[in-house]
Structure formats: C-alpha cells, structure tokens
Amino acid sequence: MSTSVLTSPTETTSQASPPVNDVRLTFPRVVRSEWIKFRTLRSTIWTMAITLLLMVGIVTLFSAILASQETQRGGPSSIDVFTIAASMASLAVVVLGVLVITGEYSTGMIRSTLAAVPRRLPALWAKGVVLTASILLVSTVAVGISLGVMQLFLGAKGLAPDLADGETVRILVGVPLYLTAIALLAFAIGALLRHSAGALATVLGLLLVIENLFLIPWKPLQHISPFLPGTAGSKILMPQAEINTMSQGAVGAVLGPWQGYAVLLAWVAVLLTAAAVLLRRRNA
C-alpha cells in the first residue's frame, strides 16, 4: 500500500522561489552596473587615452623646447605648461562627459537603464560618480607622468616645478579638479539636451565662443564675464601674479582661484539639478 503526500501549490512556490528581499536595488549596485557600461565602451577608452596623451604630449613638447633654450626668454614657465595642457585636454573630457549620457539616448539603451532603475535619479547620480572618479584618476595619472617627464628634461637646469611652493601645488591639484568639473558640466548639459551633437555644440559654444564674445569691452558684458564657467573655473590653473595682472583695470568682479572654481561648481550643481528634475518628468 502506498501513500502520497499532497503539497499545496502555494507551499511549493514559496519553497522554490527565493524571497524578494534577497535582491535589492542599492546605489552601489547601480554604480557597479554603470561602471561596467562605462569601461566597455570604445568611446570611453579613446577619449581617456586622448586626454592622457594630450596632457603628456603637450608637457613633453614644451619641456623639450624649454630645455633647448640657453636662457628662458619670456615664454611659458614650466608650471604654465600645465595650464596649456589642461585647456587642451578639456576638449576631450567634454566629449566624454556628453557621450556618457547622450550615448544611451541615441541607442535607446536609456529605456533599459530606467526600467532597471525605476526611481531614475540613482542612475543619473551613478553615471556622475563613475565619470568623476574616472576623470580624476586619469588626469591625476597624467599630471604625475607629466611631472616625471618635466623633471627629466628640466630638472638639471632647475626649471622643473617646485613642489615645495604652495601655488605650484595648487595648480597641479587644480588640473584634475578643473577637468573633472568641466566633464560634469558637459555631462549635465548632455542630460538636459539628450542629443550628442546638440550638447557638444552647446558646451563648446559656451566655453569657446560665448566666453570670447564676453571679452568685448562693453560694461554689462564685463560684469558677467568673470562668472562664466570656463573663465571662472580656469582661475584655479593660473598663478596669482597672472590673476593680479588681469585684475588691473578690470570692470567686473575679480575672483580668486578657489572662488572661481566654486563658481564653476555652482554651474555644475544648477545644471545637474535641472537635469534631475527633467529626468523625473520627461519620458525616456
């Protein structure tokens, strides 16, 4: 005689499937997924490599020129070279900052991202965290390599940057800080416009065209000009003597290095806030 044990469907289901609470959508997991997407894109690898090569290449070129001169003839000093290199590298990080967010809109992947992260904002912040950490790391490595190259060319002549000087350290630290803030500015504008070409045109127009137009000697423009993102943020890369020279006869406000950088961060904060509000309200 055999006996059969009947199990209710509800009981079987509860034993077979794991509790829902075992899988949680946490912010670190969202950051990890964004990091996987970020590092597997060819555009990321290319723009990061270009940023590194631009900085190291420009520093190497100018170091070789300075080393070949018998005496320094009023050209850029060794620390000024980092300002030039950062200005050129900023073009590459602008492209990366825009593509990090607009690339998903152009491919339609943003729908999958927002379906996986229904609250939406954690996905935006996670992209910003990954972008910030990546630019900080790459630009810091670029500064370190550039310092080594400069020491190799100019160390024997005593023209290499003096790391005991506070202003020199501020400029060297300012390079990765400036590039990161510019990348986040581009990221915020990309999140607002959701179109790669339009966002790139807007960022580059703001940094390269509009800011030059504001150099026109007209008082209303001169009062606004110090608070434009590129003009204000680049103060962190300038020696104090150069800032003092530029302030002579200035009509508008004269911002110090950290004040100017704070203005740039304010631009980033306002634009990211606007992007976050629109991300919650608009359809993907």
**DSSP letters of 155-186?**
TTTT-S--TTSHHHHHHHHHHHHHHHHHHHHH
Residue in 185, 34, 229, 172 with CA at minimum distance from that of residue 95:
185
- Reported as a single tens digit per residue, the pLDDT across 48-65 is 999 999 999 999 999 898
| pLDDT tens string 144-165 | 999 999 999 888 887 888 888 8
| Residue ranges of domains in the chain | 26-209
Which pLDDT does position 3 carry in this prediction? 46
pTM for this structure? 0.87
Instruction: Report the amino acid identity of residue 204.
Output: L
Greater pLDDT, 61 or 219: 61
Locus of tokens 């967010």: 101
> Is pLDDT above 90 for 272?
yes
One-letter amino acid of 192: L
Rounded Cα–Cα distance for residues 104 and 154 (Å): 45
Task: Report pLDDT for 225.
Answer: 84
Contact 67, 150 (CB under 8 A): no
Instruction: Band the pLDDT of 244: cuts 50, 70, 90.
Output: confident
Please report, as a single letter, which amino acid is at residue 214: F
Cβ atoms of 139 and 55 closer than 8 Å = yes
What pLDDT, on a 0 to 100 scale, did the predictor assign at position 1? 40
pLDDT at 76: 66
CA distance 41 to 34: 11
Nearest by Cα to 228 from 242, 246, 213, 250: 213
Which candidate, 215, 183, 216, places its Cα nearest to that of 200?
183
Residue 145 neighbours by CB under 8 Å, 6+ apart: 52, 56
Helix ranges (H only) for 40-77 are 42-68
Q: What is the DSSP letter of 17?
A: S
Q: In the predicted model, is pLDDT for residue 73 greater than 60? A: no
Task: Please name which of 134, 120, 63, 57 lies closest in space to residue 279, comparing C-alpha atoms.
Answer: 120
